[in-house]
Amino acid sequence: MAKKRKRYRIKATKPLLIMLAFVLLLMLAVLIALFSCTLGTAPAAVQATGAPSAVPTPTPSPTPEPSWEELRLAEIEHYVRAYGNCPDEAAVEARMATMVIDPEQKMVAFTFDDGPRDRITDLVLDVCEQYGVRATFFINGENIAAHEEQLMRMLSLGCEIGNHTWEHTNVEELSAAEMREEIGRVNDAVRERFGYTIRLFRPPYIKYGEKGSETRNTLLALMIEWNMAVVNHTRSTHDTYDTYTAEKIYRRGVAETDESKKPLAGSIILCHDKAKKTAEAFGRIVPELLSRGYQLVTVSELLHYSDEGFHAGWIYSSAN
């Protein structure tokens, strides 16, 4: 009986050994798998060739184009520093703070034709500087040489210079070549002297040919070529009328609607910087409109912030 029990124990031990070997192999496989996960899988290039491939250079993102607002502020700051007579950086920053525009607030653009003129243009600029507002000056080229100080002051105050031909000439009386000379000569003179690019043209007498006429087509083709627009007006202050006093000019300048029921907001107002009564009226108009929440801006600013925007070759009477 003892021998049989011994043979039985030997036979029973063999399956246990086999099972133990199987468990050990299974544990070894698990350990190998865990070790592989810890190290991570080799890159495809290494797996395939045994050597790492070159890391591709990332393509840089394109630099976004500056907005019109950024370009406007940069241009103004250039002229503030060049001509603004600011004693220190704080003065520059204070001047630039007046250039900020709130697109959600009402705007109106006052324009002055036929200058610059001695004394009168200075009075208008005094008002702009006192209240931190801007205007647009449609100048005659023949006045540039004798009034460079006024033009530099305009630019340092953020005002806009527009083109009113060299000699206040009716463009309807000009040939295509003469029109190019009368307008282009002003653009060239201002660019050469001040580095400033004129973007707006107001025809003297507000005459630029009937729709479809050769005169108008020629003019608009020039505007497109030079990236300019033609500027008419929404209302006139009638400041060239002998019967119009500073009081009457003031009342027309602040009326919320004109005789055609057109609103003041978004309007382009026609004035001339050649009579003291106009400067006096402007000195009253500005604080009154500011108290009503208006922003007095340049024509280009008014147009760029409008729903339609600015377009070369267009004719504008208002921002609406």
Please tell me the least confidently modeled range out of 42-56, 146-160, 197-211, 215-229: 42-56
Please tell me the least confidently modeled range out of 16-20, 183-187, 273-277: 16-20
Q: Is the pLDDT of residue 130 over 90?
A: yes
* pLDDT score, position 82: 97
pTM of the model: 0.81
Q: Are 147 and 306 in contact (CB under 8 A)?
A: no
Q: Is the pLDDT of residue 119 over 70?
A: yes
Whether residue 35 lies inside any domain: the answer is no
Q: Where are the alpha helices (DSSP H) in the chain?
A: 2-39, 44-49, 68-83, 89-97, 120-131, 148-156, 176-194, 214-225, 246-254, 276-291, 299-304
Residue that wins the pLDDT comparison between 276 and 28? 276
Give the pLDDT band of residue 48 (cuts 50, 70, 90).
Answer: very low
Report d(CA 111, CA 282) in Å as an integer. 11
* pLDDT score, position 59: 77
Whether residue 20 lies inside any domain: the answer is no
Whether residue 156 lies inside any domain: the answer is yes
Whether residue 256 lies inside any domain: the answer is yes
Q: Is the pLDDT of residue 259 over 70?
A: yes
Q: What share of the chain is helix, strand, coil (3-state, %, to 5)?
A: 50, 10, 35
Whether residue 19 lies inside any domain: the answer is no
Residue that wins the pLDDT comparison between 64 and 185? 185
Whether residue 29 lies inside any domain: the answer is no
Whether residue 34 lies inside any domain: the answer is no
* pLDDT score, position 27: 65
Per the structure, how many domains does the chain have?
1
* pLDDT score, position 173: 98
Question: CA geometry: angle at 139 spanning 204 and 292, to 5°?
Answer: 95
* pLDDT score, position 26: 61
Q: Is the pLDDT of residue 204 over 90?
A: yes
* pLDDT score, position 61: 76
Query: Residue 229's domain spans which residues?
Result: 68-316
- Cis amide leading into 116 (omega within 30): yes
Residue that wins the pLDDT comparison between 283 and 18? 283
Residue that wins the pLDDT comparison between 202 and 6? 202
Q: Are 155 and 79 in contact (CB under 8 A)?
A: yes
Whether residue 26 lies inside any domain: the answer is no
CATH code assigned at 218? 3.20.20.370
Q: Is the pLDDT of residue 11 over 50?
A: no
* pLDDT score, position 63: 77
User: What is the β-pairing status of strands 229-231 and 107-115?
Assistant: unpaired
* pLDDT score, position 15: 53
